[in-house]
Amino acid sequence: MKIRIKRVYEPPAKADGLRILVDRLWPRGLSKQNAKIDHWFRDIAPSGRLRKWFTHDPAKWDEFRKRYARELDGDPEAVAGLRRLLSKHRATLLFAAKDTEHNNAAVLRDYLARRRPVKKAG
C-alpha cells in the first residue's frame, strides 16, 4: 500500500483519495467544511506528552520516531483500524505541522510500511 502524506492546509485534490487527519488536535484556523476530512484518527496521533516534548525540533527527530513507534506498538487496535481503511481505499494522511519532513504523519507512514500486521493463527 502506498501511503501519501500532505499538510492539511494544502488544497484538497482528487488524487488524495480518502483524507485522513492523524493529529490529536484540530488544525488551527481551519474550518471542518474547508478541511474536507473524511476520517479523523486522533487516537493514533502521538500522545500530548510526546508532542510537547518533541516541539518539532529536528534535533529530536530520531528519538521522536522511536518513541512514537513505541506508542503505536502499544495501541494495535488503532493501528489495525487505520490499516483496514488504507487497505480498501487510496488515502492521504494529513498533518498540520509546518515541517513537511519531521512530523507524525511521516513517522506513521513509515511505521505502516515497515511493520506488517501479525496474522492470527487459526
> Is the confidence at residue 117, as pLDDT, over 60?
no
Please list, in sequence order, all residues whose beta carbon lies within 8 angstroms of the beta carbon of residue 47, skipping any fewer than 6 positions away: 24, 71
> Is the confidence at residue 27, as pLDDT, over 50?
yes
Percent of the chain with pLDDT over 70: 93
Give start and end residues of each alpha helix (H) in 2-103: 32-35, 48-54, 61-73, 76-88
| pLDDT in the model for residue 81 | 94
Mean pLDDT in residue range 57-62 = 97
Please say whether the beta carbons of 43 and 75 come within 8 A: yes
Q: What is the DSSP letter of 120?
A: P
* Cross-strand partners of 7: 95
Mean pLDDT in residue range 45-66 = 97
Please list, in sequence order, all residues whose beta carbon lies within 8 angstroms of the beta carbon of residue 31, skipping any fewer than 6 positions away: none
| pLDDT in the model for residue 22 | 98
CA dist 95 and 70 (Å) reads 20
> Is the confidence at residue 113, as pLDDT, over 80?
yes
CA dist 57 and 102 (Å) reads 8
> Is the confidence at residue 122, as pLDDT, over 50?
no
With cut-offs at 50, 70 and 90, classify the pLDDT of residue 114. Answer: confident
Please say whether the beta carbons of 9 and 96 come within 8 A: yes
The residues spanned by each domain of the chain are 4-114
Average pLDDT in the chain: 92
